[in-house]
Amino acid sequence: MSASLPSDQAAPHTGFVPVRNAKLYYRELGQGLPIIVIHGGPDFDHTYLLPDMDRLSDSYRLIYYDQRGRGRSAEHVKPEDVTLQSDVEDLESLRDYFQLGSAAVVGHSWGGLLALEYALRYPQRVSHLILMNSAPVSCADYLLLRQDRRATAPADLEELKARSTEASYQEGDPDAVAAYYRIHFRATLKQTEHLEKVIQSLRASFTKEGIRKARAIEKRLMHETWWSNEYDLLPKLKRLNIPTLVIYAEYEFIPVECALHIAKAIPGARCVSLRKCGHFSYLECPDQVRREIDDFFANS
């Protein structure tokens, strides 16, 4: 099937799902097998995935949402109300709201970690798992990522460190934060137009208040996961019995070992490496991504 953006697709259906102490903004598009799309960050919202992930909506029913406290799900949410457990329960509430007995789940970047946390708690509710450019799922692999970046992109890390001390960045100025992420992602996005597209899509939803709240949430979630020496999902993944596709890419800034560790831990998981693209594979190589996803569903 073509990976071109759908031109005759009906307008997305949007709304809010009531959950405990919050409302989750959702965007639903397409028909067919339902797929819940989990965005990365964890300080972003779903909009950076658009419109490119919409290519799948000609064959699949896509359900995007903003995680609690981020994007349009931020109203009346305090950072201290957000935990890994609340994010998992919000995902279950979303599934229940749409009356899905089970659903396929696609997690990009941080969303891959959250997808696995959800699958471990609610395995009967997940029909398929697609981990696209997944973040590390253990403290050890997160440290591996940090070590790899220090070795491969020391100049970028120095520049990021300098940017992070600027008053405008610390205050959450949207332009300063966009400039920071332009440096952060430039090693993984080889084409300038792709880098600018990602940065502009992020910048469009940035506000000072939203940035500061999302940062506080990110810090809390990192304390629960990557910054905790005890955090390690890999042994637990061995008990999953869910068809799983792990997508990795040639120019990924997360070490390939992180993806291989996940694929090795999940029984029967399929791991594919995509050429000439990086961390945003759905944007950079949509034809390859579409082919792998279609084949995965057809053969699982």
Average pLDDT estimate for 44-71: 97
CA distance 264 to 145: 18
Residue 121 has pLDDT above 80, yes or no: yes
Average pLDDT estimate for 18-33: 96
Residue type for position 162: A
- Residue 2 has what pLDDT? 39
Average pLDDT estimate for 44-63: 97
Is the peptide bond prior to 267 cis by the omega test (within 30 degrees of 0)? no
Residue 6 has pLDDT above 70, yes or no: no
pLDDT band of 148, cuts 50, 70, 90: very high
- Residue 129 has what pLDDT? 98
Average pLDDT estimate for 141-159: 95
Residue 102 has pLDDT above 90, yes or no: yes
pLDDT band of 23, cuts 50, 70, 90: very high
State which H helix or E strand residue 126 sits in.
strand 126-132
Range in 1-5, 23-27, 101-105, 203-207 with the lowest mean pLDDT:
1-5
CA distance 15 to 126: 23
pTM: predicted TM-score of the whole model, two decimal places: 0.95
Return the residue matching tokens 């400039």.
179
pLDDT (tens digit, 9 = 90+) per residue, 223-263? 999 999 999 999 999 999 999 999 999 999 999 999 999 99
Average pLDDT estimate for 274-279: 95
Return the residue matching tokens 């919202």.
45
pLDDT band of 1, cuts 50, 70, 90: very low
Give the chain's mean pLDDT.
95
CA distance 189 to 91: 30
- Asked if 161 contacts 184 with a C-beta cutoff of 8 angstroms, the reply is no
pLDDT band of 9, cuts 50, 70, 90: low
Range in 1-5, 254-258, 283-287 with the lowest mean pLDDT:
1-5
Non-local (6+) Cβ contacts of 153 within 8 A are: 187, 253
